[in-house]
Amino acid sequence: MDDRYHDRRDAGRVLAEELKSYANRKDVIVLALPRGGVPVAFEIAEALSVPLDIFIVRKLGVPGHEELAMGAIASGGTTVFNQDIIHQLAISKEAIDRVIAEESEELLRREKKYRGDKKFPDLKNKVIILVDDGIATGATMKAAIKALRRLEPLSIVVAVPVAAASTCKEMSGLADKIICPLQPIFFNAVGAWYEIFDQTLDEEVIDLLGKK
């Protein structure tokens, strides 16, 4: 493989080659982190002949310092907290509940937009292949793994086209397995490892999910 992918669909095909052992298994599901993870995940699900769905994670930002995460809320109604941040900043329960309410509303809006009336899948005893188009800080992927663990899957396989070698090492301690063909020492940004890295639009997400 070259040191860059052509686009997200190309990256998905490369990952699918490394995931062939999961093909045609009834206990396997591919979960994409929208939006950029969906085109990658679509190619994997197609190649393996397994279902595709989405797993949305919304950061719970500290009031007044929204870029700082005090936790996250995820598809299926799971909430995870960073108790250290909450205690250090003495964030009140009322403030936390307010942020959860706002982010829950946004999460449900996205769920409705992308999934429609399709129910959230039962993930108990499933092998989850969790997909994004790359990992930068790792915050979203970490929150997703934590939230998914609570839904009692058999195992979680993180499959991403590119992430820093140090990030992959960190993720391997959280997931049961990590598949990441490109692990540069000098990472820079996810988009740097693609020839084409356009923003994935809602319409593309809906279209690809509708095909599976």
Q: What is the largest CA-CA distance in the chain?
A: 51
CATH label of the domain that carries residue 167: 3.40.50.2020
Res 59: pLDDT:
87
Q: Are residues 80 and 157 in the same domain?
A: no
Count the neighbouring beta carbons within 10 Å of the beta carbon of residue 22.
21
Q: Are residues 30 and 128 in the same domain?
A: yes
- As for how many domains the chain has, the answer is 2
* Sign of the dihedral through C-alpha 109, 111, 115, 117: negative
Q: Are residues 94 and 140 in the same domain?
A: no
DSSP codes, 143-155? HHHHHHHTT--SE
Res 69: pLDDT:
86
User: Does residue 161 contact residue 37 with C-beta atoms inside 8 Å?
Assistant: no
pLDDT digits (tens, 9 = 90+) for 153-187: 999 999 999 999 999 998 999 999 999 999 998 89
pLDDT band at 211 (very low <50, low <70, confident <90, very high): confident
**Is residue 140 in some structural domain?**
yes
**Is residue 1 in some structural domain?**
no
pLDDT digits (tens, 9 = 90+) for 110-137: 999 998 888 889 999 999 999 999 998 7
Q: Are residues 157 and 205 in the same domain?
A: yes
* Domain residue limits at 136: 8-56+124-210
Q: Are residues 43 and 80 in the same domain?
A: no
**Is residue 2 in some structural domain?**
no
Res 2: pLDDT:
63
pTM: 0.89
Res 77: pLDDT:
80
